Structure formats: structure tokens, C-alpha cells
């Protein structure tokens, strides 16, 4: 049997035309059908590349020269864009980003889900696609005896110092820099991953877009924080918008940011913010969408697809702190939400109470266990909403949906690939995908959020 050799060799140069973008924002060129992935390259570009790594089925190349640029190519405004791993698409105009994300969703629906002729609408983008993130969590290191805070360089744990991030709320940038300076003044040393010594691992700032309230979280290796009293005094004096200072202790040798112990050093345990008319209490570890403006766009579309009249029972799988559940409860008769994280359900119940919403009920556990048990107990849904993690829905949950036969399924996804896979399962189980709406929650990154409407085929036939 003849083993075909790749048509390229490491360190050689080639002229290629870029055909597509990968889901992580790299350009894709092909030589004799063999794919080569090139960072910072865009579709339609004629370029010169140097091959940096060769595998059996694909290679990686470095962009050396652009002979013919894409009509959507722009200069990235961020000075550390090429080093920092936070954004992937600043070299692509915003119009180009929205077109690329629409194509990405369409392609995976066809390739993975074998779903053709499904309307994939133009991506709902932002009028002002900068300064949207309401949470900054930055690693802290040391250089030349001083503290630095920033982002990890692509594919490394080398910290690139960042004083001004163009996708962060300016308040967060200012808070992180001020807190870093105060900690440095009071002799706090940064955590060292290699030696597992030092104190300060990360600084996190959370900002309420509507309320203006800010929370500071210091993530430390040790429970002891040197000069804690003076640090608190300096933060509250310098940053009057801060309503909460929290310490999280993570003594483990791990890349996971948070440890198990969280304690309030000063002020409130929560800050507050609104999405639409609904108020949310946000703790240090709450999952709360980082782009609340676009979250409102996403949830309004989910509500539209649910088509509620006030008579329906709705189940919200993967409900988190109740964000979608509380939106749905405004138009439904009853909403049941389920989430595996107990603290998230505590937050969900608190948020329901905060808004005086009484027609919701939350359960703790795996959606694929709790919802089948509800079904056995006679709780069925007219509309079922899922918003799973990147890995998509558990197979047992998909089978329960097929058995339960809600008239509509609204699928919110942060991963078009697993969305396409799960839509295929539901289609084979008796559902029809009506339409798909991508929403740009994270401009200048490769991520795209999607909301899809499905109806029971027997319901479609009876219309």
C-alpha cells in the first residue's frame, strides 16, 4: 500500500490562495487538496507562506507576504493584537466578521448536521463592537521587580502586559490597573506557576453596565493577603464606584482560575445589573453574560422563537442563574429551570425573588437526569429551551425531548458544531428546524452564539 506524502515540506515557501476561515479564525489554503492553516490570513487573499509544521493530513504555515489582500482586511487597532490570544479577528473588518460567522454556521449545519435549505439569517451584530465586556479577569506576573497584569500570549503562559483592552469596558481596565498598582505598593508578590510560590494569581473586575456598580476580586494562592487592611482602604478611596471587594483562595497547582474558598473582604457580596427589565444579583463566581446588550438581543430572539401566549409550560435546561428562565417567565404560565451547579440555582432563586417572579421553579442536577424524572412525574413542556455548554446536549436529554414531544424546541448554542450535531438527532426524532439566527456576542473573536427554532413535525403538518 502506497502512503501518500504531504505535498509540502517544512521551512519551504509556497504561493497559495486562501479559501476559508477555520472556526478559530485561521485562514485555510490548499495545495492538491491538502489543507494548510495560516494565522492572520483571510479568504480571497493571494499570499506567500512558510511551512512551520507538517502533519499527515494538514500543515501549518506562517504568513510571509500578501500579494492580493482581502477587500475586508483592516489594520488591527490593538497594539498587542498579534501577541495576545484574546481576539482572533481584529484584522477582519466588522462587516467581514459578520459575513464569516454567518458562513461558519451555514457550513457546519450542512457538513455536520446534513441540514440544507435551512434559513441562516444574517448575524445580528453590534452598532459599536468595542468596549463590550463587563468582566475582566487577568493573570498577574512580575517583570523587573514590578507587577504586570495582562493576557496570556497565544499558545503559551507568557503574560503580555495590557493596560488598555479595546473589547473591555474602560472601567474594568482602569480598575485592574489601579488595583495592581495598590497591591504592588503594599508588597504583594505575584504567583509563580513554576515554583508554586507568591500570592496574587489573578485580578478580576466585574462591572454593572446599567448600575455602574463594580466588584473587585483578588484571586490568591494563600488565605493570607499581606497588608490587607491598607489595600482595602486604598481601593475604596481610589475607586468610589467599587461596591464589593472579594478574595478567592486557590492553593492548587492548576490552570483553573478559582478555588473553593470565597470571602467578602469589604462591602456587599453582590453587585447588580439589568438585562432588559430584569435585575440580576452578580457574585464573584456567578455566571453572567459578559455582553449584556447582545444578551438582550439573543434572549429576545429566543422569546420570539418560543412564541409564548401565557398558557405554556416551559422547561429551561442548563438554566444557569436563571437569565433565560426569567425572560421566559414574563410570557409563560410556568417555567421550570434546571442547572447542575448548586450555587447557580441559589442565584436563580435569588434573582426570581429580586424581580418578584413567582411562576418559576428551579431544580439542581444534571438536565439529562432531572428532566426525565420530571417527565416521569408528569411534568411536560409545551416549549423546551436548551442553552448547553460547548459540548452540546447530553444524548439522554435529547432522547427525553424526543419522547416528551414539546411542540417547540428553542436551542441556544455557543458552539455551532455541536448545535448541528444535536439538531440532526432531533430532526431524526421527529423535529423540523425552521430557522437559525446567529448573534455576535463576542466581536473580534472567533465565537458566535446561535439560536434555533424547531417544531414538532406532526405539529407542522397540522398547521
Active site residues: 414
Cα(431)–Cα(205) distance, integer angstroms: 43
Cα(430)–Cα(421) distance, integer angstroms: 15
Cα(101)–Cα(88) distance, integer angstroms: 13
Nearest to 123 by CA among 143, 106, 142: 106
Counting Cβ atoms within 10 Å, is residue 211 exposed (0-12), middle (13-18) or buried (19+)?
middle
User: Cα Rg for the chain, rounded, in angstroms?
Assistant: 24
* Separation of first and last alpha carbons in the chain: 57
Cα(242)–Cα(250) distance, integer angstroms: 23
Cα(374)–Cα(336) distance, integer angstroms: 10
Cα(68)–Cα(153) distance, integer angstroms: 29
Strand partners, 137: 204
Strands (E), 133-236: 135-143, 146-152, 159-161, 200-207, 214-220
Q: What percent of the chain is helix, strand and coil (3-state, nearest 5)?
A: 25, 35, 40
Task: Give the length of the chain.
Answer: 463
Nearest to 282 by CA among 317, 318, 248, 321: 321
Q: Give the Cα-Cα-Cα angle 109, 110, 114 (nearest 5 degrees).
A: 100
Q: How many CB atoms lie within 10 A of CB 4?
A: 8
H/E/C letters for each residue in 291-310?
Answer: CHHHHHHHHHHHHHHHCCCC
Q: What's the maximum distance between 2 C-alpha atoms anywhere in the chain?
A: 74
Amino acid at each position: 500500500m502506497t502512503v501518500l506524502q504531504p505535498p509540502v515540506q517544512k521551512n519551504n515557501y509556497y504561493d497559495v490562495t486562501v479559501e476559508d476561515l477555520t472556526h478559530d479564525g485561521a485562514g485555510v489554503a490548499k495545495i492538491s487538496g491538502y489543507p494548510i492553516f495560516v494565522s492572520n490570513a483571510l479568504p480571497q487573499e493571494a499570499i506567500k507562506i512558510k511551512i512551520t509544521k507538517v502533519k499527515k493530513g494538514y500543515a501549518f504555515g506562517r504568513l510571509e507576504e500578501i500579494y492580493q489582500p482581502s477587500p475586508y482586511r483592516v489594520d488591527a487597532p490593538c497594539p498587542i493584537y498579534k501577541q495576545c490570544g484574546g481576539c482572533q479577528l481584529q484584522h477582519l473588518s466588522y462587516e467581514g466578521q459578520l459575513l464569516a460567522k454567518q458562513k461558519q454556521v451555514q457550513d457546519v449545519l450542512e457538513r455536520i448536521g446534513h441540514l440544507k435549505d435551512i434559513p441562516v439569517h444574517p448575524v445580528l451584530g453590534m452598532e459599536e463592537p468595542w468596549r463590550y465586556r463587563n468582566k475582566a479577569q487577568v493573570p498577574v506576573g512580575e517583570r523587573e521587580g514590578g507587577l504586570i497584569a495582562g493576557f496570556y500570549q497565544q499558545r503559551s503562559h507568557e503574560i503580555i502586559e495590557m493596560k488598555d483592552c479595546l473589547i473591555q469596558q474602560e472601567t474594568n481596565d482602569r480598575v485592574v490597573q489601579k488595583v495592581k498598582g495598590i497591591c504592588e505598593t503594599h508588597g504583594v508578590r505575584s504567583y509563580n506557576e513554576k515554583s508554586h510560590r507568591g500570592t496574587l494569581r489573578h485580578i478580576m473586575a466585574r462591572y454593572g453596565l446599567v448600575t455602574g456598580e463594580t466588584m473587585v476580586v483578588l484571586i490568591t494562592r494563600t488565605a493570607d493577603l499581606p497588608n490587607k487592611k491598607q489595600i482595602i482602604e486604598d481601593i475604596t478611596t481610589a475607586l468610589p464606584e467599587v461596591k464589593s471587594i472579594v478574595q478567592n483562595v486557590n492553593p492548587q497547582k492548576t490552570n483553573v482560575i478559582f478555588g473553593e474558598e470565597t470571602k467578602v473582604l469589604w462591602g456587599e457580596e453582590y453587585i447588580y445589573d439589568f438585562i432588559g427589565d430584569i435585575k440580576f444579583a452578580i457574585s464573584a463566581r456567578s455566571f453572567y453574560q459578559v455582553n449584556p446588550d447582545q444578551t438582550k438581543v439573543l434572549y429576545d430572539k429566543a422569546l420570539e422563537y418560543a412564541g409564548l401566549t401565557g398558557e405554556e409550560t416551559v422547561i429551561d435546561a442548563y438554566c444557569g442563574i436563571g437569565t433565560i428562565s426569567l425572560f421566559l417567565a414574563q410570557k409563560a404560565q410556568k417555567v421550570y429551570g434546571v442547572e447542575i451547579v448548586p450555587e447557580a440555582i441559589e442565584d436563580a432563586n435569588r434573582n426570581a425573588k429580586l424581580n418578584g417572579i413567582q411562576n418559576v421553579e428551579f431544580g439542581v442536577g444534571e438536565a439529562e437526569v432531572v428532566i426525565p424524572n420530571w417527565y416521569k412525574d408528569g411534568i411536560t413542556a409545551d416549549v423546551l429551551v436548551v442553552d448547553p455548554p460547548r459540548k452540546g446536549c447530553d444524548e439522554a436529554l435529547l432522547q427525553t425531548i424526543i419522547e416528551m414531544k414539546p411542540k417547540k424546541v428553542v436551542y441556544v448554542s455557543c458552539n455551532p458544531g455541536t448545535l448541528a450535531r444535536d439538531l440532526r438527532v432531533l430532526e431524526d426524532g421527529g423535529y423540523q428546524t425552521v430557522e437559525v439566527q446567529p448573534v455576535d456576542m463576542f466581536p473580534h473573536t472567533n465565537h458566535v452564539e446561535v439560536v434555533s427554532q424547531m417544531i414538532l413535525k406532526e405539529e407542522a403538518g397540522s398547521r
